[in-house]
Amino acid sequence: MNRVLLLFESKRNSQLLVEWLSDQAQVVLVEGEQSLDEPFDLCIVDGRSLDRLQTLLQKRKESEQPVFLPILCVTPRQSLCSTTSDLAACVDEVIGSPVEKAELLMRVRVLLHTRQLSLQLNQRNQELTAFTYAVTHDLRSPLQVITSMAELLLEDQGNRLDDQGRLDLYQILLSADQMHELIAAFLSFSRLGREAIQIQKASLQPIVTACINSLEREIRARNATIRVEGELPVVWADPVLLKSVLINLLSNSLKYVASDVDPYIAISASHDNDRCCLRIQDNGVGIAIEDQSRIFSPFVRLKTIERPGIGLGLAIVRKSVELMSGRLGVEATLGVGSTFWIELKSPTPDE
């Protein structure tokens, strides 16, 4: 049964609510503050208690995330507007007093139903994550055996095989490697979660330099040029995550270029109020308009040019940018090149 917490200054009002709600929930009247730590599915609070307990309630709500813990505030109708704007961060619904029984019961029902849906969704997500780990783990073991056996065969019996036999073995090893890579990418995609993210002020300049340095081998091999245009600002981001995002985008810009063209990549940034837009522009094969939004979905690969890959890079990039409360997109012309952009929050002067 759902548990509803009542935080009311007036005993008479809380008694009335107990009567109204006891049919559809277990109602708990809270006297002290420690009861906020106990499990509950909905908290109904009056304006005065909310003033007193807002910080505690906010913390309690955050501790349940990503599950939705609803808070319903009952406050005199005349103070409804000011209450709503002041307390929007903590409260999910405001209802004016004197309260209509039918209205209250309907709002309570909706909030409790949303809470249950959110709990179910969270449960499904956890099951799905556990399933992903189990499947990928179970796939890895036999794959490791295939790789080891093929290597052993090549080492011990390689001389007795003809050219075609050796080629076939190499093909087995290559496919097993691709499968290892696919499993690793799949795992890092499913592992990306809010818990691991540490948003802080991050200077783009050293992050971009580190990305370019770690791609040095590819840059040299492709005779590529990467130019940073102008100063790069400070943004709110997780530096580790941002680095992996940029490496992903830069690797693609080096990869999806016609073989007879030397890659040229320009990195620049622009500022608008508290947002920063970072752009990575390349002279690659470009992307048709109809493909520009779908390439951010998992396993979408275009046929514009044949290159190795598994189609998870941009999905990971999108998830990472969204985890940093950013946005991203691409503008591109087939045969001319693409510009991937990332918009992130940048610190205001007083931050």
Considering only CA atoms, which of 233, 255, 263, 266 is closest in space to residue 343?
233
The interface with ligand ADP within residues 105-134 (CB under 6 A) comprises: none
Distance CA 13, CA 29 (A): 11
User: Is 41 an interacting residue with respect to ligand ADP (CB under 6 A)?
Assistant: no
User: Is 8 an interacting residue with respect to ligand ADP (CB under 6 A)?
Assistant: no
User: Is 161 an interacting residue with respect to ligand ADP (CB under 6 A)?
Assistant: no
Dihedral class, residue 325 (left if φ above 0, else alpha if ψ from -120 to 50, else beta): left
Distance CA 142, CA 86 (A): 58
What tokens does 82 get? 């000011």
Minimum distance, C-beta of residue 247 to ligand ADP, in the bound complex (Å): 11
Task: Indicate the pairing of strand 327-333 with strand 337-345.
Answer: antiparallel
The interface with ligand ADP within residues 218-257 (CB under 6 A) comprises: 252-253, 256
Minimum distance, C-beta of residue 309 to ligand ADP, in the bound complex (Å): 3
The interface with ligand ADP within residues 283-302 (CB under 6 A) comprises: 284-285, 287, 295, 300-302
Minimum distance, C-beta of residue 179 to ligand ADP, in the bound complex (Å): 14
Dihedral class, residue 135 (left if φ above 0, else alpha if ψ from -120 to 50, else beta): alpha
Minimum distance, C-beta of residue 283 to ligand ADP, in the bound complex (Å): 10
Cβ nearer to ligand ADP, comparing 56 with 247: 247
Residue spans of beta strands (DSSP E) within 155-296: 200-203, 225-228, 234-237, 264-272, 275-282
Q: Give the residues across from 332 on adjacent strands.
A: 338
The interface with ligand ADP within residues 301-340 (CB under 6 A) comprises: 301-302, 304, 309-315, 338
User: Is 166 an interacting residue with respect to ligand ADP (CB under 6 A)?
Assistant: no
Cβ nearer to ligand ADP, comparing 3 with 301: 301
The residues binding ligand ADP (CB under 6 A) are 252-253, 256, 282, 284-285, 287, 295, 300-302, 304, 309-315, 338
